[in-house]
């Protein structure tokens, strides 16, 4: 692609990350924060300016638009989706990125005053990008490449197709969502209105990532009820809820935690604990790619509670709520949508990295809502914190991949099947 055109990608991305769109899990509204509207409204104007059609925004700040087909045969309508909120776990206010051109492999000083550094000795992925342009944080905020990079890449790809009508494509739908980072990005997504046969979320990490399976996920709250007695008279009478919570944790498999697992290995992740003698709670998430193993993990929590309750009746209560499912079951019957993305990457010089997502994705929920939706790379690393960075060249390859997917779909597929 012409470098003159790609020059639009960087300023577009920098404009997006400068707008604070941090989501809030305790909010009951959609979007969960009022400030997400700021970027959503900007996207509406930009989509109109580049020539997209049927540009819309609904009462929940879901943005959609259409690039009409430029061919006279019927091919599947496909879509590209990204979210514009950022994680509630780290501030996205006053994002001021740094550009590191022609990266030489040395440690990057993000914040000299506070000794915040991006070192290739710790973040080995940096070594993959020698000679490239890196976009980093200033060491005080996150960057927001998750997923404003995906937003910028989709819009840049659409603009490229609009200005290059010689590239044949069918009808393309794009969608931008709030609140993905708090697990609600697909909750109010109107699949029928979107009208695509399949779609791709552009929300992956490293260049080449192509994912069509993710964790089965649940969250659990375990509540412990104790009995407070004066410690001098406590023998055989006190029940310390804090110690009950400690006993519960000790009965979980010690190596099945995020810091000791990888690939398709599942885990328990305790992320919050609060307590006193009379009451304590722990909150954890449960993750596993395999549905049978996932159920076994949930059963284990109940079994541990049963054992403790046998010694101290009615002292432990477990509440488990499923969050999302592995989208593999919904995508494998339509596996050509993965194959076309893989071929597109190869044609633009990207080596596909096909692996399971150790997390969730809007694509999971959307797949179970009737829109098969694998995930492709946006290009960033170290999401959700001050060490986040993204190579500009990876963003450019994401744009090329999106364009090529559109082109290959028109070339290889007719509606509801291959030629």
Give residue 2's pLDDT band: very low, low, confident or very high (50, 70, 90). low
Q: Give the alpha-carbon dihedral of 139, 141, 142, 145, to 10 degrees.
A: -100
Segment 258-290, tens digit of pLDDT: 999 998 999 999 999 999 999 999 999 999 999
- Is the pLDDT at 24 greater than 50? The verdict is yes
- Whether 176 and 350 have beta carbons less than 8 Å apart is answered as no
Domain boundaries, the chain: 3-213+326-418, 216-324
Segment 329-361, tens digit of pLDDT: 999 999 999 999 999 999 999 999 998 888 877
- Is the pLDDT at 6 greater than 90? The verdict is no
Task: Taking residues 162-177, report their average pLDDT.
Answer: 97
Secondary structure class of 274 (helix, strand, coil): strand
Burial class from Cβ neighbours inside 10 Å (0-12, 13-18, 19+) for residue 130 reads exposed
Q: Within a 10 A sphere around the Cβ of 4, how many other Cβ atoms? A: 7
- Whether 128 and 373 have beta carbons less than 8 Å apart is answered as no
Segment 173-190, tens digit of pLDDT: 999 999 999 989 999 999
Using a pLDDT cut of 90, give the percent of the chain over it: 93
- Is the pLDDT at 196 greater than 80? The verdict is yes
For the chain, the average pLDDT equals 95
CATH superfamily of 3-213+326-418: Zn peptidases (3.40.630.10)
- Is the pLDDT at 419 greater than 50? The verdict is no
- List active site positions: 85, 180
Segment 71-99, tens digit of pLDDT: 999 999 999 999 999 999 999 999 999 99
Which is more confident, 358 or 152?
152
Segment 288-303, tens digit of pLDDT: 999 999 999 999 999 9
Give residue 414's pLDDT band: very low, low, confident or very high (50, 70, 90). low
The conformation of residue 107, written as its DSSP 8-state character, comes to: P
Distance between CA atoms of 39 and 52, rounded to whole angstroms?
17
Q: What is the pTM of this model?
A: 0.89
Let me know if domain 216-324 sits in CATH 3.30.70.360.
Answer: yes
Q: Give the alpha-carbon dihedral of 170, 209, 388, 62, to 10 degrees.
A: 30
């Amino acid at each position: 692609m012409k470098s003159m055109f790609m020059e639009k990608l960087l300023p577009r991305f920098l404009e997006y990350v400068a707008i604070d769109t941090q989501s809030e899990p305790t909010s009951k509204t959609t979007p969960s924060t009022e400030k997400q509207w700021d970027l959503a409204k900007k996207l509406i104007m930009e989509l109109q300016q580049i020539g997209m059609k049927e540009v819309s925004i609904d009462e929940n700040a879901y943005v959609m638009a259409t690039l009409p087909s430029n061919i006279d045969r019927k091919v599947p309508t496909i879509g590209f989706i990204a979210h514009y909120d950022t994680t509630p776990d780290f501030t996205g206010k006053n994002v001021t990125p740094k550009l590191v051109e022609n990266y030489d492999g040395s440690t990057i000083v993000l914040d000299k005053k506070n000794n915040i550094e991006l070192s290739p000795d710790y973040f080995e992925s940096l070594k993959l990008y020698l000679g490239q342009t890196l976009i980093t944080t200033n060491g005080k905020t996150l960057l927001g490449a998750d997923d404003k990079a995906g937003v910028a890449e989709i819009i840049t790809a659409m603009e490229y197709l609009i200005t290059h009508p010689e590239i044949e494509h069918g009808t393309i739908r794009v969608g931008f969502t709030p609140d993905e980072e708090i697990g609600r990005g697909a909750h109010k997504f109107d699949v029928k209105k979107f009208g695509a046969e399949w779609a791709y979320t552009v929300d992956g990490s490293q260049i080449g990532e192509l994912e069509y399976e993710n964790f089965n996920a649940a969250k659990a709250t375990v509540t412990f009820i104790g009995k407070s007695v004066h410690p001098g008279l406590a023998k055989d009478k006190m029940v310390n809820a804090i110690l009950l919570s400690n006993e519960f944790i000790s009965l979980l498999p010690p190596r099945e935690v995020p810091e000791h697992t990888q690939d398709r290995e599942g885990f328990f992740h305790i992320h919050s604990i609060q307590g006193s003698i009379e009451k304590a709670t722990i909150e954890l998430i449960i993750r596993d790619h395999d549905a049978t193993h996932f159920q076994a993990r949930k059963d284990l929590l109940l079994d541990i509670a049963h054992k403790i309750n046998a010694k101290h009746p009615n002292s432990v209560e477990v509440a488990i709520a499923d969050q999302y499912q592995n989208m593999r079951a919904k995508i494998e019957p339509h596996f050509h949508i993965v194959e076309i993305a893989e071929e597109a990457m190869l044609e633009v010089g990207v080596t596909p990295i096909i692996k399971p997502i150790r997390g969730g994705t809007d694509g999971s929920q959307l797949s179970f809502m009737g829109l098969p939706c694998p995930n492709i790379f946006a290009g960033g690393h170290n999401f959700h914190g001050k060490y986040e960075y993204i190579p500009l060249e990876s963003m450019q390859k994401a744009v090329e991949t999106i364009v090529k997917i559109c082109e290959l779909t028109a070339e290889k597929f007719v509606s509801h099947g291959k030629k």
